[in-house]
Structure formats: C-alpha cells, structure tokens
C-alpha cells in the first residue's frame, strides 16, 4: 500500500498545473493581480486532484516594523475587511459543499447577504455575477478574488 | 506546542465515521456557564512532557549537540529564521524539529547534513547518527502517540522516500515510518503545501492544526476539513463529527480543554464558522467543532497585528494565548475573561493595559506557550532584557517591569512570573520557538540560540537548542569514570588577597557537576564554571589547582599554576576621555566612531550614552545604535573604562537625526 501511494505521489508531484487568473485590471480596493504563470502542484498526492485557486507566494516581511499591517501567515498583505472575510468564508463553504456535506443553497444565500457589507467592489461584483441557482463550481470566481486579497484556502 | 488541560476529563464523544461527513456543523450557542458545569469523570488525558523543578535547575546550559543552518526560504514562513520549532522526548531520545539543515556535535566539529528532524541522546546530548529520518521540508510540531510513536507535523511532503505530506508517525527507536498510522493532510485548492503547525494528543485522540483542507486516512479516505481535524492517535481514523470551520489562513496553536469539552484555536485565520469577532483566536465545541459563543472577546492592543502563535492550557482553568503584539495573555478558560498578561518592549502602558504606547524599541511577540509540570513557559523574540535603563518585561500580576528575555516561566495556575528563571543562553534573533523537557528533569529551549554561559562568565557554544539540567542531576548508577583534567589554568592577582582563576573546561562521560579551585594556604572554592575568585590568599606565592568533579563524586586530576601574590596597590588611574566622536545615519541605525582612549594599564571598553542614558558598550572605538529612534535629534557621548573599573570623563557630544 505504501509503495503504491508513493508511486502515485511521485507522479502527481511532477505534474504541472496550469495557472489560473485572478482579478484583473486596476482594482478599486488595492487588490493585486496574482501571477498567471504556472504553479507546481503540491500536497495532493493522494486525494482527488483539483486545480488550485490560490496561487500565493510567501513574502518575507519585518514583523516588528512599527507600521506593519495585517498579513496572512505567508506574509501577503491582508486586504479584506471583516465583511469581506465573512463573505469569502461563505464562498469557501459553498464551493466545497460537495465534499464537506455543506448546504450549498444556504451558503449562497449567506454569501449574497454578507457581501453587501464589504467595501470591496471587486468582491461584490464577483458575487453579483454569480448566476441564480449557481453551482458550487461557479463560486470559484469569487474565491479567486478572495485569494488575491490574502485569503488562503 | 500545546497540550490538554487537567487530570480529570470529560470523555469526548468520538463517533468516528470514515469518509465524507453528512453535514457541516452549525454554530453552537452553548453558553459558557453551561459548558463549565458539564459533568466530569475520570479519563486518560494526553502525554504530558515530564515535569521540571525550577528551584534546582542550573541556568547555565549543559553541553549537547546542536542544529544550525535554518532554511526559511524553502518554507511558507520565510520571515522566521528559527532553526528549532519543536522539541519532544520519545523513547530515550530528544527529537528536535525545525527549519535547520545541519547538525553539529560541538563547536569544533564539522556540520553534518540532517535536515528538519534530528535525534539526540537523552543523557549525553550527543547527536544520534543512527536515527536519520529523511524529510524534504520543515517540521513544526512533535507529539507522542499512546503507543509511543513519534508524531511529526510540518510542511514536508515525503518522509524516508515515501509520500507523507504534513503528517507522519515514526518509530523513535529506528526513525522508520510507522506504517500503522496512515494519515496525511492535503491542500488541493492552493499552490502552497499543506502544513501541520501543532499536534496535541488528548484522550487517545490526536488533534492536528495548520493549513490544510483534506485529511487522507485509512482505507484511502479523503475527507474535507477546515484547517483542524481530530483522528484516533493510534489508528489514524478521522473523527468526522468534529469539524471546526476555520477559514482565511492557518491555525498555529491548539489546546484541548478536556474538562469543558472545548478546543481553543489560535493563529492567523480570519474567522471560525464565518462568525464575526473570531479572527486569530476562537473556542470550539469538543464534540462537534461548532463555535462556542458567549465568551468574553479577547482584548487586543493593536488593530492591525493580531495574530496568535500559540495557545496553551495552564492549570486552575487558565488559558495562555501568545502572539502579537508582544503579548502573552492569561484568560479564564470558562468565560474568556482576561485574568492577567505579560508584554515585552513597552513602558508606561501598565495603567492603560492594551494601548500602543511608549514602544521602546525592544520586545517581541510571544510565539510559544508550553505547560510543563506546574509552569507555563512563554517564549518570544524579545532579545533584550533592558533598553537604556528600562527593563523590557512587564507582568500585570506584580505590576512590575523586570529584566527578562527570550523565555519566561509562569506559575501555571496563578500567572505569577518565576523571577529567578533566567536561562543563561543568548545570541538569538528569532528567540524561543520551542520548549521541551525530559525524564532526567532537564528543560530544553529551542530557537536560533548561538551561545550560553555569559552571565556565569563563560563562553559556551550553543546552536539552536539549549539544555538546562538540575544542578545535581541524577546520574546513572555505576559511574566510576572521573572527568578529564581541566587545562590552561590561569590566575590573576587582583590585590587584597583575591585571585581570579579561569581554565578550559573538562569533559565527562556523564557530565561535570562542578570545579574545585584550591590555593596553597587553605583557601578553596567550588564553582559551576570559571572564572572563579578565591579570597584570603596570603602574600608571597601560591599554587592554584583546579579539579573537576562529577555528581557521582569522581574527581579529575588537577591542573595547577603558580603565581606571585601579595599585590597591594591597584590601578586607580582613569583612562583619558575618547576624542573625535562622530555619529552618522547608517542602514543599521546611528553609527558612532571615535579616537581611542589611553590608560596606564589598558582600556577595557567604551560605554555609549544616548541623550544621557546608557545604551550599549563596545570593546573597539566604534558602535552602532540599532535601537535609535528616528525623527528626533539624538545626542551621543562616550566614555572609556579599564579593567579596574576606572572610568574616563565623557567625550564631547555628537548629534544626529535619523530619518
């Protein structure tokens, strides 16, 4: 069993996953545009393969600088306000509901409600663009905005 | 880094069902009072680290091997270059995990490549070259399973050539992968590696926290989770009823409050169950993982930097929460009320508690909290115990500032600082990131330490990890081997019948307990380390003999030196004042240079003053004030000292304004 798992891992670890595109154009809320270059798949040697949404890069920063701003654990600036973070959490719950057993419809409703309070127009726009009766996979576009603003999956 | 609370525990319902869960948990509104009143019954709790007795602990490190060459750029935490991130005894070895690439036996030895996880002999502290696990990235957490396996969490993806992302169990005797524990973690929605940051064993369950979104368990199950999971600590079977919904970024600390059936989480995350006010620290139900509401919000002292690095249960219903900004908070485990706090690097804020005020250019975030016996140890990257004349550590319990740095000890049930606990280790930038103990009563502190013994007048090699043992540590029976003789004995007549003696240390199969310095004529002293002073030496001449003793009473051969004694006069002449003082703005702060002083015997050092307050010293005529504040004119002066303690008058002043 171990050798089989190891063999599968070796195959998957050498696979190159096509890059994904996050929000584009000048963001009205200071969000950055994530790199669209290829990203090497990591840490999915055994489970069902999916295309990564988050394409973050660790950033070295001075934790003791007096002007230090909020960041995520890999040092990327955290650009979501509290309402935006809540909306992104609802988006993640909705997107992953097929594998976690979550209630997609309920999470989408909560997502549409939560996003009204954020100052991030790009996040609001992404949620507004979701079709009525959106499928879980449709929420990927919202999570792309979220991860571009420091949210980690 | 953290562990369960208490000896009496509520059994946690563990309806473990493999595969996907039926439904995500919903937020719980369990009131604090109801949870606190939950019935209790005896149960087995997790594997505690062995207790230590701080009243007998030697603050001077005991020699052991070390780890070095941290490689943070390989990890997702490139800003933190700590070699050591976790320490744990398993079997007869001390395991050290972290970002390091190499190990060394001692200062004179060559580095040997052994990345991320290494084992050291419990008694001798020597690196165990027979145990060489091969991991491809950092280790952040270590724990011991109920069956004695070493549980390892981190950012690695392979172990001993086998795919084991984030989590693996090893046989501590051989360091081979334990095939009976199959769990790993995955992070398929991110291009970053899955990482396990903390491991806690409680009631036969293993709690894992970090940044991952699936757990791969027995029978090829792949179950969606949100950065936290609970599995059977022996079989690895996932408990799918326990599903905390943590989002945004990683969980770095987890503590299991067994009596209340709660789990405390700390980290960089933005929330739990999408609820407001749950970023960085939250409490979830021990059965379902649903958010526990109704607790007092954790006070914060900064609106931007709020991350939590570690969470730990103390005793007497205390929860210790360490993180930004420079604060270790002690909360009531039942209500969340703040009971006390310590901070580093502030001054004058004690009245207002959490206000960003009077930052004095020192201190650092609390990045590890570990309960060992009756103490909770809090470690930070607070590398100075004073700035100018201001001590940097503040305790709200005593309302006093004290000179402590890197690692502090608190009475776990009262938050009272153990003032005498001041490990004699130094050279760190990242400070303390790990604390461990062993069954010999020794305490380990890990980080990026490089030296020790300075407070005792010694210069000791330390690399990443330091070991502090009881002054009279228990020794194995049958130790009949004497230490080697000390070498290079030197004695200086300080005058007034006082000799100062120093030497090169001995070695011993078990460990040198102390040295005996004897002078002809009867004077004799025992010292843990050199240099030692012997008083009452008669004038004329004397022979000084130094021997080493171990705890079993074995005495080494003596090393001796003869010296003329009876010096009556002393050096009473002061050095000349430094001249030509110049100061300029440099990348590292305010850079000072001056023309050297002269002295009848010899200049020993120069003392540097900023705006009249002593800020540092240098043995050479140059120094950089790395803590100099910007935006205001700073006035510097320098004075010289000699070995007899004579001081010159201060130099002419020089000024600079940093931008």
- Of residues A45 and B8, the one with the higher pLDDT is A45
Show Cβ contacts of residue B485 under 8 Å, excluding neighbours closer than 6 positions. Answer: B506, B547, B548, B556, B557, B558, B559
Mean predicted confidence (pLDDT) in B635-659:
85
- B579-657: CATH topology: Immunoglobulin-like (2.60.40)
Q: What is the pLDDT of residues B141-192, one digit of tens each?
A: 999 998 899 999 999 999 999 999 999 999 999 999 999 999 999 999 999 9
Q: B99 pLDDT exceeds 80? A: yes
| Statement: residue B597 has pLDDT above 90 | yes
Q: Do A101 and B157 touch (CB under 8 A)?
A: no
Q: Which residue has the higher pLDDT, A45 or A73?
A: A73
Residue B381 has pLDDT above 50, yes or no: yes
What's residue A16's pLDDT?
22
| Residue B193, beta-bridge partner list | none
DSSP summary character for residue B647: B
* pLDDT of B382 above 70: yes
The residue that leads in pLDDT, B242 or B16, is: B242
The overall average pLDDT reported for chain B is 85
Q: CA–CA distance from B351 to each of A144, B338, B354, B395, B399 (Å)?
A: 45, 15, 9, 12, 9
Helix (H/G/I), strand (E/B), else coil: A82: helix
Percent of chain B with pLDDT over 70: 88
Q: Mark yes or no for CB contact B224/A59 under 8 Å.
A: no
Q: How many CB pairs under 8 A join A and B?
A: 194
Instruction: Find the mean pLDDT for residues B535-547.
Output: 83
Q: Span B487-565: which CATH code?
A: 2.60.40.10
Residue of A nearest to B160 (CA): A6
Higher-pLDDT residue of B476, B531? B531
Q: Is the pLDDT of residue B302 over 90?
A: no
Residue B70, pLDDT score: 96
Q: Of the ranges B356-365, B508-517, B521-530, which is most confident?
A: B508-517
> Average pLDDT, stretch B382-407?
86
Lowest mean pLDDT, pick from A76-85, B346-355, B515-524: B346-355
pLDDT of B401 reads 86
Q: Find the range with the poorest average confidence among A117-131, B275-289, B494-508.
A: B494-508
Q: How confident is the model at residue B569 (pLDDT cuts 50, 70, 90)?
A: low
Of B489 and B260, the structure prediction assigns the larger pLDDT to: B260
- The winner for highest mean pLDDT among A29-43, B31-45, B71-85 is B71-85
Mean pLDDT of A83-108: 97
If you compute the radius of gyration of chain B from its CA atoms, what whole number of angstroms results?
27
Supply the ipTM of this predicted assembly. 0.75
Cβ-defined contact of A58 to B76 (cutoff 8 Å): yes
The band of B523, judged by pLDDT with boundaries at 50, 70 and 90, is low
| Cβ within 8 Å, pair B268-A72 | yes
How many CB atoms are closer than 10 A to CB B481? 12
For CATH 2.130.10.10, the residue range(s) in chain B are 8-468
pLDDT of residue B1: 55
Question: Which CATH number describes the domain made up of B8-468?
Answer: 2.130.10.10
Quick one: pLDDT at residue B479? 81
Q: Each residue of B43-95: pLDDT tens digit?
A: 333 457 999 999 999 999 999 999 999 999 999 999 999 999 999 999 999 99
If pLDDT is split at 50, 70 and 90, which confidence band does B297 have?
confident
Confidence (pLDDT) at B568: 64
**Mean pLDDT across the stretch B207-230?**
94
Regarding predicted confidence, which is higher, B177 or B35? B177
| pLDDT over 90, % of chain B | 55
Among the listed residues B115, B197, B122, B193, the one whose alpha carbon sits nearest the alpha carbon of residue B160: B115
| Position B627 confidence tier, pLDDT thresholds 50, 70, 90 | confident
The pLDDT, as a whole number, for residue B249 is: 97
> Residue A48 and residue B252: Cβ atoms within 8 Å?
no
Determine, for residues A93 and B248 on separate chains, whether the beta-carbon distance falls below 8 Å: no
pTM beyond 0.80, yes or no? no
Ranges for all domains in chain B classified under CATH 2.60.40.10: 487-565, 579-657
How far is CA B533 from its chain centroid?
32
- Dist. CA B24–CA B273, nearest whole Å: 10
How far is residue B404's CA from residue B197's CA, in Å, rounded to a whole number? Answer: 27
Query: Which residues on neighbouring strands pair with residue B330, listed in sequence order?
Result: B320, B340
Mutate to test the interface with A, among B136, B163, B198, B358 (most CBs of A within 10 A): B163
Pick the range with the lowest mean pLDDT from B38-42, B54-58, B379-383, B621-625. B38-42
Of B76, B192, B214, the CB nearest to A47: B214
CB-CB contact of B431 with B364 (8 Å): yes
Higher pLDDT, B254 or B650: B254
Residue B261 three-state SS: coil
Q: Does residue B310 register a pLDDT over 70?
A: yes
Residues B578-589, mean pLDDT to the nearest whole number: 93
State the average pLDDT over residues B570-599.
Answer: 89
Mutate to test the interface with B, among A10, A98, A107, A152 (most CBs of B within 10 A): A152
The total of other beta-carbon atoms located within 10 Å of residue B584's CB is 11
Task: Answer whether residue B469 shows pLDDT above 60.
Answer: yes
Instruction: Annotate B380-391 with b (16+ C-beta within 10 A) or e (fewer).
Output: bbbbbbbbbebb
């Amino acid at each position: 069993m171990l050798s089989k798992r190891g063999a599968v891992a070796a195959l998957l670890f050498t696979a190159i996953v096509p890059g994904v595109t996050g929000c584009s154009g000048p963001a009205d809320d200071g969000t950055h545009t994530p790199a669209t270059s290829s990203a090497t798949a990591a840490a999915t040697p055994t489970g069902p393969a999916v295309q990564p949404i988050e394409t973050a890069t660790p950033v070295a920063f001075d934790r003791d600088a007096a002007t230090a701003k909020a960041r995520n654990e890999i040092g990327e600036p955290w650009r979501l306000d509290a309402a935006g973070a809540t909306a992104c959490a609802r988006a993640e719950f909705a997107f992953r509901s097929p594998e976690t057993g979550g209630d997609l419809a309920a999470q989408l409703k909560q997502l549409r409600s939560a996003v009204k309070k954020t100052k991030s127009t790009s996040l609001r726009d992404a949620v507004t663009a979701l079709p009525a009766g959106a499928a879980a996979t449709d929420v990927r576009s919202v999570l792309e905005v979220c991860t571009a603003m420091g949210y980690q999956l | 880094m953290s562990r369960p609370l208490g000896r009496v525990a509520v059994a946690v319902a563990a309806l473990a069902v493999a595969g996907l869960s039926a439904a995500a948990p919903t937020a719980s509104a369990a009131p604090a009072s109801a949870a606190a009143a939950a019935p209790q019954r005896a149960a087995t709790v997790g594997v505690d680290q062995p207790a230590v007795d701080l009243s007998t602990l030697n603050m001077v490190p005991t020699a052991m091997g070390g780890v070095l060459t941290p490689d943070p750029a390989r990890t997702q935490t490139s800003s933190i270059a700590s070699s050591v991130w976790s320490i744990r005894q398993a079997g007869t070895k001390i395991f050290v995990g972290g970002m390091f690439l190499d190990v060394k036996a001692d200062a004179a030895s060559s580095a040997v490549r052994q990345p991320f996880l290494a084992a050291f002999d419990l008694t001798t502290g020597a690196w165990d070259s027979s145990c060489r696990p091969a991991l491809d990235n950092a280790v952040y957490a270590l724990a011991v399973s109920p069956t004695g396996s070493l549980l390892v969490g981190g950012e690695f993806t392979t172990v001993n050539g086998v795919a084991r992302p984030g989590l693996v169990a090893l046989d501590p005797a051989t360091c081979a992968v334990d095939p009976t524990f199959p769990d790993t973690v995955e992070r398929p929605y991110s291009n970053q590696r899955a990482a396990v940051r903390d491991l806690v064993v409680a009631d036969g369950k293993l709690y894992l926290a970090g940044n991952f979104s699936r757990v791969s368990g027995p029978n090829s199950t792949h179950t969606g989770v949100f950065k936290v999971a609970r599995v059977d600590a022996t079989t690895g079977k996932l408990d799918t009823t326990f599903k905390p919904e943590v989002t945004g970024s990683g969980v770095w600390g987890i503590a299991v409050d067994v009596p209340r059936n709660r789990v405390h989480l700390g980290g960089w995350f933005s929330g739990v169950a999408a609820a407001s006010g749950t970023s960085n620290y939250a409490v979830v139900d021990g059965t379902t993982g649903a958010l526990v509401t109704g607790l007092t919000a954790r006070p914060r002292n900064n609106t931007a930097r709020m991350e939590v690095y570690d969470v730990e249960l103390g005793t007497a219903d205390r929860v210790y929460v360490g993180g930004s900004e420079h604060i270790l908070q002690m909360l009531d485990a039942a209500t969340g009320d703040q009971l006390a706090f310590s901070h580093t690097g502030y001054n004058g804020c004690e009245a207002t508690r959490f206000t960003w005020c009077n930052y004095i250019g020192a201190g650092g975030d609390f990045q590890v909290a570990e309960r060992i016996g009756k103490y909770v140890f809090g470690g930070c990257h607070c590398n100075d115990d004073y700035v100018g004349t201001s001590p940097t550590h503040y305790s709200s319990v005593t309302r006093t500032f004290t000179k402590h740095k890197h690692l502090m000890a608190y009475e776990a049930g009262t938050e009272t600082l153990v003032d005498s606990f001041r490990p004699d280790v130094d050279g760190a930038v990242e400070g303390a990131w790990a604390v461990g103990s062993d069954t010999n009563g020794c305490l380990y502190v890990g980080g990026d330490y490089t030296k020790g013994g300075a407070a005792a007048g010694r210069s000791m090699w330390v690399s990443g990890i330091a070991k502090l043992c009881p002054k009279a540590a228990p020794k194995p029976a049958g130790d009949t081997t004497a230490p080697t003789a000390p070498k290079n004995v030197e004695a200086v007549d300080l005058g007034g019948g006082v000799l100062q003696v120093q030497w090169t240390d001995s070695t011993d199969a078990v460990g040198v307990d102390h040295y005996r310095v004897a002078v002809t004529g009867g004077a004799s002293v025992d010292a843990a380390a050199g240099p030692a002073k012997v008083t009452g030496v008669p004038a004329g001449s004397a022979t000084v003999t130094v021997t080493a003793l171990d705890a079993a009473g074995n005495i080494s051969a003596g090393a001796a030196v003869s010296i003329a004694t009876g010096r009556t006069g002393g050096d009473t002449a002061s050095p000349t004042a430094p001249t030509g003082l110049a100061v300029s703005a440099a990348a590292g702060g305010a850079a000072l240079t001056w023309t050297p002083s002269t002295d009848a015997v010899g200049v020993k050092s120069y003392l540097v003053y900023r705006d009249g307050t002593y800020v540092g010293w240098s043995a050479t005529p140059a120094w950089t004030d790395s803590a100099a504040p910007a935006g205001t004119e700073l006035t510097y002066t320098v004075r010289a000292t000699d070995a007899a303690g004579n001081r010159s008058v201060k130099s002419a002043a020089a000024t600079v304004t940093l931008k």
